[in-house]
Amino acid sequence: MRELLQKFENKKPEIVFEWNDAETEARGWVVINSLRGGAAGGGTRMRPGLDKREVESLAKTMEVKFSVSGPPIGGAKSGIDFDPQDPRKRGVLERWFKVVTPLLKNYYGTGGDLNIDEIHEVIPITEDYGVWHPQEGVVTGHFHARENEKIQQIGQLRMGVSKVVEDPKFTPDPAKKYVIADMITGYGVAMSVMHYYDLRGDSYRGKRAIIQGWGNVGAAAAYYLAQAGVKVVGIVDTAGGIINTEGLTAKEVTQLFIEKVGNKLSAGNLMSFDEVNNKVWDTPAEIFLPCAASRLVTQNQVDRMVKAGLEVIACGANVPFADAEIFFGPIMADADKKISIIPDFVSNCGMARVFAYCMEKNVELSDEAIFADTSNTIKRALEEIYKRNKTNINLAETGFEIALEQLI
């Protein structure tokens, strides 16, 4: 696995597009690791201090993810170095998407990512520049669809990704009109935990979980786990956090989801970030979901959680460990030898899978069908890992081995 990983990491990206905004200090990159299958896909993110290397590493991560989620295309990513709180953000995004429109029409598909909203920013802005859907480039480059087929696939993408979740099994509040894109990644992360325990004949009910990050992924994952009987004992977010060793009730977790402000936790009883960050890693829990930004989870945090009884990490964020390496750095490798790690390209592939599902011919676009497809995709990936490795350690290494065998 290490040899395959090194070869994959060291391969130079096929395309690197660099942009400097004429009106602000914003800089941006599209990195296409390869045009495997004639196209590439990966979301668009924005944060201050982002650089080309981060985008390159995430493009490679996406390529590995597509080995699980499908379709069999190359990995890509867009990144903009700019403060998403800046009131000039909309203008930056409009100028960015204008210059990358030729890619989006022909061979690159994108979506929302960190600080960029799929429904309210990516789709309407790209539509203004004549892009039928942000995934149009994949439909064109990979599927080589005829005009009538392309219209059908784009129609399914438009409907599926933006569909309001109405089935009460999948939404915390039907009146709030959450859409598939709001819920599906967190749902997949939660299902990865449930499938992990099911494969081992162990019950997830009553297990305790710590959640890092309260954006769409962390909040949704916590919601689905709490509904399934998992006890959320800790939440750590930039806005503060909560520690409840008895576990929050499913109703309390639902309320925290509904009341979140943007991507931030909001409640009257929040501990300060410093206080919760000092204490939460020693809180007894079997499950940890890192669902915030990339490269935040430190060796010290892992060691403390393992000592407190940690069994499994399901990666909601891409590349959650604070390693310099693109994939398998020393912190992740050490954790993989001690506990079970469900790697990001399996656990958080929900949105990529929805895109792939909606590009298939004549699919059912009900809540039940879309959520079940994501769950089944993640289950199959974990079953493949389990066939090769029935222990509780080195699961991430096994998962990478399976993925890289398809890519190299």
* HEC letters along 283-334: CCCCEEEECCCCCCECHHHHHHHHHCCCCEEECCCCCCECCCCCCCCHHHHH
Residues 231 and 341 in one domain: yes
Number of structural domains in the chain? 2
Last residue of a domain, one of 98, 129, 144: 144
Token reading at 389? 């490795």
Q: Is 85 exposed, middle or buried (0-12, 13-18, 19+ CB in 10 A)?
A: exposed
Tens-digit pLDDT profile for residues 273-300: 999 999 999 999 999 999 998 899 999 9
Tens-digit pLDDT profile for residues 15-37: 999 999 999 999 999 999 999 99
Residues 317 and 190 in one domain: yes
List, in sequence order, the alpha helices (H) in 112-265: 123-128, 136-141, 147-162, 180-199, 216-227, 250-259
Residues 108 and 204 in one domain: no
Q: Is 5 a domain residue?
A: no
Q: Is 119 a domain residue?
A: yes
Residues 136 and 284 in one domain: no
Beta strand pairing call for 108-109 and 40-41: parallel
Residues 6+ apart with CB under 8 A from 321: 295, 297, 302, 329, 331, 332, 335
Residues 203 and 317 in one domain: yes
Residues 372 and 234 in one domain: yes
pLDDT at 263: 85
Q: Is 160 a domain residue?
A: no
Residues 29 and 96 in one domain: yes
Q: Is 90 exposed, middle or buried (0-12, 13-18, 19+ CB in 10 A)?
A: exposed
Task: State the CATH number of the domain containing residue 100.
Answer: 3.40.50.10860
Residues 256 and 230 sit within 8 Å (Cβ to Cβ): no
Residues 59 and 189 in one domain: no
Q: Is 337 left (phi over 0), alpha (psi -120 to 50) or beta?
A: alpha
Residues 134 and 193 in one domain: no
Residues 140 and 184 in one domain: no
Residues 95 and 22 sit within 8 Å (Cβ to Cβ): yes
Token reading at 62? 């996406």
Residues 361 and 220 in one domain: yes
Cross-strand bridge partners of residue 41: 75, 109
Q: Is 175 a domain residue?
A: no
pLDDT at 9: 86
Residues 185 and 71 in one domain: no
pLDDT by residue, tens only, the chain of 408 residues? 778 888 898 899 999 999 999 999 999 999 999 999 999 999 999 999 999 998 998 999 999 999 999 999 999 999 999 999 999 999 999 999 999 999 999 999 999 988 999 889 999 999 999 999 999 999 999 999 888 889 999 999 999 988 999 999 999 999 999 999 999 999 999 999 999 999 999 999 999 999 999 999 999 999 999 999 999 999 999 999 999 999 999 999 999 999 999 889 999 889 999 999 999 999 999 999 999 988 999 999 999 999 999 999 999 998 899 998 888 899 999 999 999 999 999 999 999 999 999 999 889 999 999 999 999 999 999 999 999 999 999 999 999 999 999 998
Residue 341 structural domain: 180-406
